[in-house]
Amino acid sequence: MGLGVAAINTGNNLLYLLSSMLLGLVVVSGILSEAVMRGLRLTAIVPEEIHAGRPALIGATVANRKRHVPSYSINIEVPGPGEAGRVAYLPRLPAGAERLATWEVTLPARGRHRLPGVRVTTRFPFGVFLKAGQVILDEEVLVYPALVPVPAELLRRIGGSGSAQTRRRGRGSELHNLRDYRPGDDPRLIHWRSSAKTQALTVRELEADTSLDTRIVLDGTGARDPARLEAGLSEAAALAAHLLRAGALVELAGPGLLVRLGRGRVQERRILTALALYGPRARPGAAAGTAPGGSPGDVANVREIRIGIG
């Protein structure tokens, strides 16, 4: 009888010991995982351009702000459906160090959207329990229309004779002028024969081809056919980007919409932003060109291309 009681007590003691060990494991895991997560800071890095339907590379700087303690086994995850899953894993992040994590996000439609947020998790130290932080970096971004290939019909219209060209400096193939070399000039534009004669570097200034200068007009309201609206806005965006990158002046007009004539990267951003935020209207309303300061198209040698949006 005494041996039976002793065996039961021994079994109970072993059970208590195992329970205490498991409880201690939970406590230690919680303390260490909390130490790993403490002091971590994420800073979002968003690309300058995000186009609908095209994968965009999103980044975040992961910084360990603790002075002495490193962080281990860090996961950057996108919670929820769709883009869900682990996007980056950092086995060790020393104290005071930073690492760059990147992942792809595809947003299907133009306009303002919130990026899928991310959260930091860790299973350190034993890989059994998950410690997760709050969802962060769910920033709002502006998504531009999808950039489709410029339709062949529009390319033929661009390549037509158009208006008579005017002479101005820009990106072209004809010689506009010769001048002294300045730091930052393209070495390929150095005119070596003139440089040899004058014993000073001389560069060529090229003449812009103004026959490409274009006014893009959105034809319709976009209220009747959503599919045609999106296709038309994508065509307008692709055409504007094509012309601006060729050095042309481009203007955008539509129902209640006007982006005045301009060129370069800034003008491309203006036009893409206007197209991204354009909303269909029940009726044309104010015609394009009612903005103060003169009507659009009042600059000579600007062709007009109309793109239907339904």
pLDDT of residue 104: 86
Whether residue 250 lies inside any domain: the answer is yes
One domain, residues 226 and 257 = yes
pLDDT of residue 293: 34
Could you tell me the pTM of the whole model? 0.68
pLDDT of residue 136: 79
Whether residue 6 lies inside any domain: the answer is no
One domain, residues 156 and 245 = yes
One domain, residues 252 and 298 = yes
Whether residue 47 lies inside any domain: the answer is yes
One domain, residues 214 and 297 = yes
Rounded CA gap, 222 and 218, in Å?
A: 9
Whether residue 90 lies inside any domain: the answer is yes
We report the CATH number of the domain holding residue 67 as 2.60.40.10
**DSSP result, 30-72:** HHHHHHHHTTEEEEEE--S--BTTS-EEEEEEEEE--SS--EE
One domain, residues 70 and 185 = no
One domain, residues 136 and 184 = no
Whether residue 20 lies inside any domain: the answer is no
Q: Six-digit token pair at 157?
A: 């219209």
Question: Nearest-5° angle of CA 141, CA 142, CA 148?
Answer: 130
One domain, residues 227 and 277 = yes
CB 38 within 8 A of CB 87: no
Rounded CA gap, 114 and 140, in Å?
A: 4
- HSE-CB of 28 using CA atoms within 13 angstroms: 10
Rounded CA gap, 215 and 252, in Å?
A: 6
Whether residue 12 lies inside any domain: the answer is no
One domain, residues 303 and 160 = yes
pLDDT digit string (tens) for the chain, length 310 residues: 555 555 556 656 677 677 777 676 666 666 777 777 888 888 888 888 999 999 988 888 899 998 888 988 888 888 766 566 777 888 999 999 999 888 888 899 999 998 888 888 888 877 667 777 777 777 889 999 998 888 887 777 776 533 434 444 444 445 556 778 777 677 777 777 777 777 778 877 765 545 678 999 999 988 889 999 999 999 999 999 999 988 889 999 998 899 999 989 999 999 999 999 999 865 544 444 433 333 444 455 688 999 999 8
Rounded CA gap, 310 and 305, in Å?
A: 16
Rounded CA gap, 40 and 74, in Å?
A: 10
One domain, residues 177 and 261 = no
One domain, residues 235 and 90 = no
Note the maximum CA span of the chain.
120
Look up residue 188 and give its DSSP letter: G
Whether residue 27 lies inside any domain: the answer is no
Name the phi and psi angles at 18, rounded to 5.
-65, -40
Closest to 305 in 3D by CA, of 240, 260, 257, 230: 240
pLDDT of residue 200: 78
Rounded CA gap, 40 and 175, in Å?
A: 57
Whether residue 11 lies inside any domain: the answer is no
Q: Treating both helix axes as pointing N-terminal to C-terminal, what angle do 264-277 and 226-245 enclose, rounded to 10 degrees?
A: 180
Q: Assign 3-state DSSP to the chain and report helix, strand, coil percentages, each to 5.
A: 30, 30, 40
**Which residue type does 127 have?**
G
Q: From 143, 178, 198, give the residue that closes a domain.
A: 143
One domain, residues 44 and 183 = no
The count of domains in the chain is 3
11: CB partners within 8 A, 6+ apart = none
One domain, residues 178 and 75 = no
For CA atoms 179, 182, 187, 192, the dihedral sign is positive
Closest to 78 in 3D by CA, of 100, 103, 52: 103
Question: Nearest-5° angle of CA 302, CA 303, CA 307?
Answer: 130
206: CB partners within 8 A, 6+ apart = 169, 170, 171, 172, 173, 174, 175, 176, 189
Q: Which domain holds residue 262?
A: 152-167+210-308
Rounded CA gap, 158 and 153, in Å?
A: 9
First to last CA, the chain: 95
